[in-house]
Homo-oligomer: A and B are copies of this chain.
């Protein structure tokens, strides 16, 4: 968290934040021994979004996403920069750009594998749909955003491009205590 703080303290150069943040997130997801089970638990009906840490000034947040079998997000935007790193399983990512009649793929759909990191932002492409990339299993990814993402006013979209206001919130009322080094 201190390292991520250093990254956002460097200034408002989004490309620099994404490049340095990607290195930190790759390091974080390279080892899978730190995420408490309760923040890796799938819900039977929908993907889960668990806040792990929010910066005091809401300059960034760290979130675990958990995808049960067959689960997917709607098409959505973020309005802030975001980094997506796969901790377990894989994610199927469809990236969109505006087109005369709604949205179209901005790149071929791709599978993000365990250990890989993807980025989004209004500058580099902010609209996507993410699905569990593992058939019948659970996938877990760790996301870092340039805001308290659960409180951001953003939008989901139906395929014709019509936006629907969206504040995601979080699935968890309790965060992990990552700060007790006495044990």
Which of B4, B56, B182 meets A5, CB within 8 Å?
A: B56
- A123 interface residue (CB < 8 Å to B): no
Task: Check if B182 sits within 8 Å of A177, measured CB to CB.
Answer: no
Tell me if A's interface is mostly helix, strand, loop or mixed. loop
- A135 interface residue (CB < 8 Å to B): no
Task: Check if B174 sits within 8 Å of A180, measured CB to CB.
Answer: no
- A129 interface residue (CB < 8 Å to B): no
- A167 interface residue (CB < 8 Å to B): yes
- A170 interface residue (CB < 8 Å to B): yes
Q: Which residues in B have their C-beta under 8 angstroms from that of A179?
A: 51, 54, 58, 61, 148, 150-151, 170
Size of A's binding interface in residues, CB under 8 A: 33
Docked complex: A43-59 residues within 8 A CB-CB of B: 51, 53-58
Docked complex: A140-183 residues within 8 A CB-CB of B: 148, 150-151, 167-170, 172-183
A179–B173 Cα distance when bound, in Å, is 9
Given the interface contacts A1-B57, A57-B2, does A177 sit within 8 Å of B183 by beta carbon?
no
Residue of B nearest to A55 (CB): B56
Docked complex: A1-24 residues within 8 A CB-CB of B: 1-2, 4-6
Task: Check if B56 sits within 8 Å of A4, measured CB to CB.
Answer: yes
The 6 A-B pairs with the shortest beta carbon distances in the complex, nearest first, are A169-B182, A174-B174, A5-B56, A175-B175, A54-B179, A1-B56
**A-B contacts besides A151-B180, A169-B180, A174-B175, 13 pairs, CB < 8 Å:** A1-B56, A1-B57, A2-B56, A2-B57, A51-B180, A55-B56, A56-B56, A148-B179, A150-B179, A150-B181, A150-B182, A167-B182, A170-B177
